[in-house]
Structure formats: C-alpha cells, structure tokens
C-alpha cells in the first residue's frame, strides 16, 4: 500500500509528539503529499487565520511513492496557509529528506501551535522529540545542517531547516533540505520560523516493505524509467543542461521577460544560459557547471552543481564559497538575472548560493529586487532607502552587496523581505509589482505565451509555473503543440495541466517526469503501489478534486474571481520588439471559458453540482 499509515502530530505549544493513524478514507480520495495534506489543512485550519499565528499549521508530507524505486520517488511537500499570499501554500522539494521521513515510518508531520522557545524536532524511526534549538537559532541553513550532524554524530541524518531570512520575517523564506534543495515558494519557511521551529532532523532505518503488488510495481517502475531514458528531454536535455536549457529557447521565441517585465527579450541571456555554464572559463579553465546531481531515486538528474570563478569579485576572499554547491536552475537564473538585468553568471551563481544558504525563494527575491530597481531608476526610492547602494538594473555589484546585507536582516532587508507587492504598495507604485495573489511570476512572459497567463492568473498559490506548465505544450510541443499566441483551447489545456500536476504532486513524484510520462505511465505505478483504484480516470479525477479543494480554501480565506487577474503591464503594455512584438495577454478571452471548463459559475464560484461530482 506504500503509505506508512502513520502521522506524527507535533504540538509546539505543549511540546508533545504523538502518533496517529492516517485517515485512509481521505488517502483514497486525495492520495498523499499535496492532496492529502491539503485535505488535513482544510479540515483543521481556519482559512481566515493569521498565517504567522499559532492557529496556522504546517504539514510536511510525503506521497505513497516517496522512498520507493519509482524514478523521482523522493519528493515531499510543505503545506500551510501562506504569509505571502494569504492563500493555500504547497511547496515541493526533492533531495533526500522526504524519503528518510518515510523510512522512519511517517507519511507526514503536522506541526501546530507555537513553541515559546526555539526548538528542533529529532526523529529516529518511531521516536520523535523536540529539542532545544538555542545552538542553531540565528544560524544559516547550511550551518544548522552541519551543527545537527555534529551534535548527533550521525552522517546519515537528513535535515530540513530554515535560514536566517525566515527568522527575520522575510515573507518568502523557504524550507531548505539537504543544504541545497528547497520547498521554495510562498513563504512556507516563514511559517516554520514563526512557530519557533528551526529544523527537523530525521533518520529512518525501517524502509518501505509494504508495496501493494511488488511484482507489478517493479515492472511498472522499470517501464517508466525506460520511457524517461529514451525521451530527448528527460534522457538527454535535462541531465546535460538542466532546466537552464530553456534560457536561450524562451528568449528565442520572444517570451523571456527582463527588467521587472518592463522588457521582453534579454540581450544578456546567452551569458547566463546552460551553454554558458558548460563553457570553460578563462581564469581556471573550469566550467561553472561541475556536474549534474540527482535527488533521491531520480533517474533524470537535472540538478546543477556549480562553482563560482574563484577570482570573481563576489567570492575572491571567501574560500567557503569557492567549492561546489547547488547551481542555477532556469527560474532562478531568470529571476536573479534577466529580471534584474544582471548577466554576470558568477555573480548570479553566488547569489543563488546565498539563497540556498539562508533559505529564500530566488524567484520572489529576484523579482522583488527587480521591482526595487525599477523604482530606483524612476526615482521613487533612492540611496537613502537602499543604504547607499546604487540599485540599478544590470549592476552585479549592487545586487551582490544588497544580497549579502539582506541575509543578515539589516537595512533595506525589511523592505525587500515583504515581497514586491507590499514593497511597491509601500512606495506608492502598486502597478510595478509583477505578481498574482501577491506571488511573483516565474520566467515566462504571458504576453508572449497566452496559456501560461491563464495558468498564472488561476493558480491556487499565486503566480507559478509549477501549477500548470503549459509551456510544455505551447513552446515545446509536449504532449501536443499549441500556438503560443492562440487563446482557443487554452482554458481546457490549463485545466488538464493543473489537474494532472495536482496528482503528480500528491504521489511523491517529480513533475519533470511529465516531459516524458503521461498519466498512462504514472497511474500504473501508483496502482501497483497502493490499494484501491488508481486508474488513469481516477487519477485525473483525484487531481481535479484536489484543485477544487484548494480553491475552496482560498474562497473561504476571502479570495474571489477578482483575484484571478494579471498585472496591468501584462494586459496593456505591448511587447516592443522581437518575434512577439505588439502582443499583450488576452486573459479576458480565456478566463470565462476556463470557469466553464471547470464547471464553475461565471464569477468563479464552485457550484454544488461540481462539488457533488467531485465528492467535495
């Protein structure tokens, strides 16, 4: 059955850890991880609660395939109400922590209340206890990881923790695990820190031995691995170039936003692309990319492990940053690079290291700095606010300086830590925040690609590429090519991607498999692992149920159809040059059709008949 059927409930107010059985009725309806934990959240948390108050809960959840030999079966998610958006948050991470939690015998951990002192949770198989966190509070995520390994003298311990930015109240802090993997978006790390919970350290020795039909499972997972190996994207492109393979592609089709989305098309894109990362540099003859690395159980291995040029100004006298560490992925390279106009690969890699070290979402961080840069250039803010830093588009020196200051929580950090929506509102320029529901866009301009605009506008966690990656279809032709600038059929396309992704995120698998896998590859793996009916049809309906459940949470939190929108810039300011010249996003043409395709009312509400159809 692949679930451990056990939940660990940690009451931080009382300091207790208790085991309880997994609600199997819900598991059969919501599968695991994103879906199942969101079900618990919607049942246990008032959607109107203060996201940073003791009434919010934070759930770390695995899926039924987490910890198995299914390729990419090592994912876990962090679920809570987001302090950045006020909507439901679910951030997914790879690395090794999720599988270890499962090996220790737990499907998920529910954290509730708030500790009056800093603590961390130590899990050794079925033993779980809260320990004083004095020695790690105030430390970076990297230091915390090292200290916990030293304290417990166990090299095989896996750690998830928050860095200093979360402690300082940055609203988009990540939960970091295994040093450079992140449950990155929506400020799930901020919620963790708000509970005075610094880290979770886990060691599991029990393994997973209760797969429903082991023989069928091995056959289905082997078939799946063969499909990944033979596919050009998952078998060649991602291992060789990582997601960064997209930088030149998206720039080429006229959909790479630049300088806070003021421009589309970035002249420095090549300098920060996958190709540039592979090029040996002059100083030491080594490329930025040291090697590719895999998360637990993943046969794709898209992860970038990079080094910064040791002679580069950012790391010159800092040997601790001259070794290899987690390198740039596409969304981070875009937000930190093109969106700020900085095309210095070494500076961006260093800033990416700092994002990992102190746990902030590089997409929101880069986009927030970009918004600040635009306000600096138009004179809204000056060196008085930025502590003397000339925060101009394209300045690697300024960006490095402000990031080093940011992680310490001093100076302009409090402003930047609010995210671009609050920052731009504070300085009277709300239209310069490139966000949906308060969360910043990733690296695809919705003026150039219509469907992704609808996906951003309707995403349950605010602007996000991982809630419905229609780029696969609109740019890469997976599973079928649709025209970038067409709006016809995009409502159905977005719905299909959103529902399928919700299911993948609930299984323990990585969404990158879907470059190669359809639901006909995924469903048999779940069906063999789990009891119950996990046919393609039931998997898709489960995904749709999860999507609607998340929407109901947001509705109860106060969100309406008015929040399914894009910033004016993307609806009114045309692209000035390049292959997509003259375009804006035509959300108005797609949104009514999307509501219809979802079985919602014209004002985006979920009617009783749709609820009944989905057993909600």
Partner 1 sequence: MQKSLNIDPGKCTGCLQCEMACSYEHTGTFNPSRSYIKVFTFHHEGRFAPYTCTQCDEAWCMRACPVDAISVDLTTGAKVISDDKCVGCKVCTIACPFGTVNYSQATGKVVKCDLCGGDPQCAAACPTDAITYVDADWTGYDRMLASAAKSLPSAEATA
The residues of the shown chain that bind partner 1, judged by CB under 8 A, are 67-69, 71, 96, 99, 103, 156, 179, 204-209, 211, 214, 225, 229, 239, 290-299, 301, 303, 305-307, 323-325
Instruction: CB nearer to partner 1: give 206 or 252.
Output: 206
Distance from C-alpha of 430 to C-alpha of 433, rounded to nearest angstrom: 6
Nearest CB to partner 1, comparing residues 130 and 208: 208
In which residue are the tokens 């695991």 written? 32
Give the C-alpha separation, 128 to 147, whole Å. Answer: 19
Quote the least distance from Cβ 237 to partner 1, whole Å: 15
Residue 401 or 526 having the CB closest to partner 1: 526
Q: Closest distance between partner 1 and the C-beta of residue 179, in Å?
A: 7
- What DSSP string runs through 143-164? HHHHHHHHHHT-TT-EEEE--H
Give the distance, in angstroms, between the CA of residue 424 and the centroid of all CA atoms in the same chain: 23
| Owner of token pair 């090697």 | 291
Phi, psi of 161 (to 5 degrees): -155, 175
Bridge partners of residue 119, in order along the sequence: 132, 197
**CA–CA dist 163, 361 (Å, integer):** 11
The CA distance from 337 to 394, in Å, is: 8
Q: Alpha-carbon distance 393 to 342, whole Å? A: 7
Nearer to partner 1, 251 or 356 (CB): 356
Whole-number minimum distance, CB 7 to partner 1, in Å?
A: 20
Taking the C-alpha atoms of residue 390 and residue 401, their distance in angstroms, rounded to an integer, is 10
Closest separation between CB of residue 99 and partner 1, Å?
8
Least distance from partner 1 to the Cβ atom of residue 149, Å:
12
Residue 351 — left, alpha, or beta (φ > 0 → left; ψ -120 to 50 → alpha)? alpha
Which residue lies nearer to partner 1 by CB, 103 or 365?
103
- Cβ contact 98:295 at 8 Å: no
- Which residue, 385 or 527, is less far from partner 1 as judged by CB? 527
Least Cβ distance, residue 300 to partner 1 (angstroms): 8
Nearest Cα residue to 534 out of 506, 497, 498: 506
Query: Residue 239 or residue 254: which is nearer to partner 1 going by CB?
Result: 239
CB 196 within 8 A of CB 210: no
In terms of CB distance, is 74 or 543 closer to partner 1?
74
Beta bridge partners of 288: none
CB of 277 to partner 1, least distance (A): 13
Q: How far is the CB of 174 from partner 1 (least distance, A)?
A: 19
Structural tokens at position 312: 């580069």
Looking at the Cβ atoms of 49 and 226, the one nearer to partner 1 is 226
Tokens 């300091």 appear where?
15
Shortest spacing between CB 290 and partner 1, in angstroms: 4
Can you give the C-alpha Rg of the chain in angstroms? Answer: 22
Could you give the strand order of the β-sheet that contains 158-161, starting from the edge strand earlier in sequence? 127-132, 119-124, 197-203, 158-161, 175-177, 181-183
């Amino acid at each position: 059955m692949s679930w451990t059927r056990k939940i660990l409930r940690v009451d931080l107010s009382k300091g207790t850890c208790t085991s309880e059985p997994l609600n199997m009725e819900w598991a059969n309806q919501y599968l695991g991880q994103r879906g199942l934990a969101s079900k618990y959240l919607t049942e246990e948390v008032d959607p109107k609660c203060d996201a940073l108050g003791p009434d919010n809960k934070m759930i770390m959840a695995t899926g039924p395939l987490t910890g198995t030999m299914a390729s990419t079966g090592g994912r876990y998610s962090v679920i809570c109400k987001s302090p950045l958006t006020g909507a439901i948050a679910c951030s997914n991470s790879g690395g090794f922590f999720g599988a270890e939690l499962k090996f220790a015998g737990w499907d998920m951990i529910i954290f509730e209340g708030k500790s009056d002192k800093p603590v961390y949770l130590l899990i050794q198989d079925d033993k779980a206890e809260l320990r004083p966190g004095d020695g790690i509070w105030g430390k970076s995520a990297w230091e915390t990881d090292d200290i916990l390994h030293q304290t417990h003298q166990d090299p095989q311990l896996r750690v998830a923790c928050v860095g200093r930015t979360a402690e300082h109240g940055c609203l988009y802090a990540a939960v970091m695990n295994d040093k450079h993997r992140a449950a990155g978006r929506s400020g799930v790390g901020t919620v963790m820190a708000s509970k005075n919970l610094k880290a979770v350290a886990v060691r599991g020795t029990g393994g997973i031995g209760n797969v429903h039909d082991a023989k069928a499972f091995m056959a289905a997972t082997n078939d799946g691995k063969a499909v990944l190996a033979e596919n050009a994207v998952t078998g060649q492109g991602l291992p060789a170039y990582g997601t960064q393979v997209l930088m030149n592609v998206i720039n080429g089709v006229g959909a790479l936003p630049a300088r806070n989305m003021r421009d589309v098309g970035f002249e420095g894109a090549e300098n920060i692309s996958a190709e540039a990362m592979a090029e040996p540099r002059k100083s030491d003859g080594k490329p930025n990319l040291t090697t590719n690395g895999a998360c637990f159980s993943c046969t794709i291995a898209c992860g970038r492990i990079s080094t910064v040029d040791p002679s580069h100004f950012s790391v010159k006298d800092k040997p601790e940053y001259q070794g290899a560490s987690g390198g740039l992925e596409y969304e981070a390279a875009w937000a930190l690079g093109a969106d700020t106009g900085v095309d210095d690969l070494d500076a961006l890699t260093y800033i990416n290291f700092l994002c990992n070290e102190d746990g902030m979402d590089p997409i929101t961080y880069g986009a927030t700095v970009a918004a600040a840069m635009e306000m600096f250039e138009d004179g809204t803010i000056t060196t008085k606010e930025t502590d003397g830093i000339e925060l101009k588009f394209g300045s690697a020196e300024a960006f490095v300086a402000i990031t080093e200051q940011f992680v310490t929580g001093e100076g302009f950090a409090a402003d930047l830590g609010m995210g671009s929506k609050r920052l731009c509102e504070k300085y009277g320029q709300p239209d310069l925040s490139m966000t949906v529901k308060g969360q910043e866009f990733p690296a695809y301009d919705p003026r150039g690609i219509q469907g992704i605009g609808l996906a951003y506008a309707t995403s349950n966690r605010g602007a996000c590429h991982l809630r419905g990656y229609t780029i696969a279809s609109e740019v890469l032709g997976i599973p079928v090519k649709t025209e970038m600038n067409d709006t016809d059929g995009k409502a159905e396309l977005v719905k299909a991607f959103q529902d399928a992704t919700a299911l993948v995120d609930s299984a323990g698998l990585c969404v990158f498999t879907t470059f190669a896998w359809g639901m006909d590859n995924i469903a048999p793996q779940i069906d063999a692992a789990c009891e119950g009916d996990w046919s393609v049809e039931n998997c898709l309906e489960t995904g749709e149920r999860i999507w609607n459940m998340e929407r109901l949470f947001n509705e109860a939190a106060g969100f309406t159809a008015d929040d399914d929108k894009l910033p004016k810039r993307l609806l009114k300011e045309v692209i000035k040059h390049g292959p997509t010249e003259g375009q804006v996003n035509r959300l108005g043409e797609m949104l009514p059709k999307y509501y219809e395709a979802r079985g919602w009312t014209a004002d985006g509400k979920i009617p009783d008949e749709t609820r009944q159809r989905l057993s909600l």
